[in-house]
Amino acid sequence: MCFVDQSTNRQIISRLMRKARYLLDRDLKDKFTAQSIDEHAIDLSLTNPSLYLKEGVTHVNPRSVSEPFWEEYSDENIKHAEAQRLNAVQLRNVIDGILKKLVADIKQAVEKTRRSFDRRIYESKQAKQTLESQLRDVHLLIDQLEESIKNTEKAIRDKEQYLKLAHTRLDIRHKRPNVELVYDAPQKRLIEEIREIECEIQRLQERLNESHVRLRNLDRDKLILEKDIETKTNTIFVDEVECHEGLRKSISIEDW
């Protein structure tokens, strides 16, 4: 509302200033014209060939004004113009004050935005470093888990060879003839050995299955981290390069 009032006052004073200037210009022009006429009359002499007689020249022109009116008219124009000039100066000072405050507010807003960008860029870089550190840890865990899977698969293959050996021995001993087919200590031990190896293989297989599940989860985590890092990289590029060092660097606010 204050800005609207100031704008209205400025328009009014501007019109009054134009009117005062017009009146002064007209008065000054008339005075220059009158001065030229008087100077021409003074310069006339008896020998001037352009001298002449004119009937009725002694009559007072009805458009003539008195000397007091002439003085008052010029003084009034000068006073009016000076009053408008002072009003204009006062309004200009008010406008200058408004503009100075506006510039100061804009500079403050720009500085706050700059600090916000700096803080956001710093936070984004910190977050990106954290994600990259987590990604390195995940890569290390994946390498370790893949090595563990290889070792477990080798252990299962080794146990399966022992299992085949025990099965083969037991099967061959089933071929003993007649009463020689005794359920003796070696027979019992082979059966126990087969059961022990089968249990060990089962445990190794369960561990292998768990490792594969964990590996899939780590691969998923790796993809998520890589995507997050890519997003953070793009965010930093937009905020730091395109906005902070690009578009906003061109902002220049001069003091009023």
Model pLDDT for residues 157-203, shown as the tens digit of each residue = 999 999 999 999 999 999 999 888 898 999 999 999 999 999 999 99
CA 152 to chain centroid, in Å, comes to 53
pLDDT, tens digit (0-9, with 9 covering 90-100), for 76-123: 777 777 777 777 778 778 778 888 888 888 888 888 888 888 898 899
Structural domain contains residue 79? no
Confidence (pTM)? 0.58
Environment class of 138 (CB within 10 Å of its CB; exposed 0-12, middle 13-18, buried 19+): buried
- Indicate the number of domains in the chain: 1
Structural domain contains residue 232? yes
Structural domain contains residue 39? no
CA distance 222 to 143: 12
Structural domain contains residue 181? yes
Structural domain contains residue 52? no
CA distance 133 to 125: 12
Q: Count other Cβ atoms within 10 Å, centred on residue 2.
A: 7
Domain that holds residue 156: 116-250
Res. 250 pLDDT band, cuts 50 70 90 = low
Res. 251 pLDDT band, cuts 50 70 90 = low
Q: Which residue has the higher pLDDT, 67 or 141?
A: 141
Q: Going along the chain, which residue ranges are E strands?
A: none
CA distance 36 to 219: 102
Res. 3 pLDDT band, cuts 50 70 90 = very low
Structural domain contains residue 153? yes
CB 243 within 8 A of CB 118: no
Structural domain contains residue 88? no
Structural domain contains residue 60? no
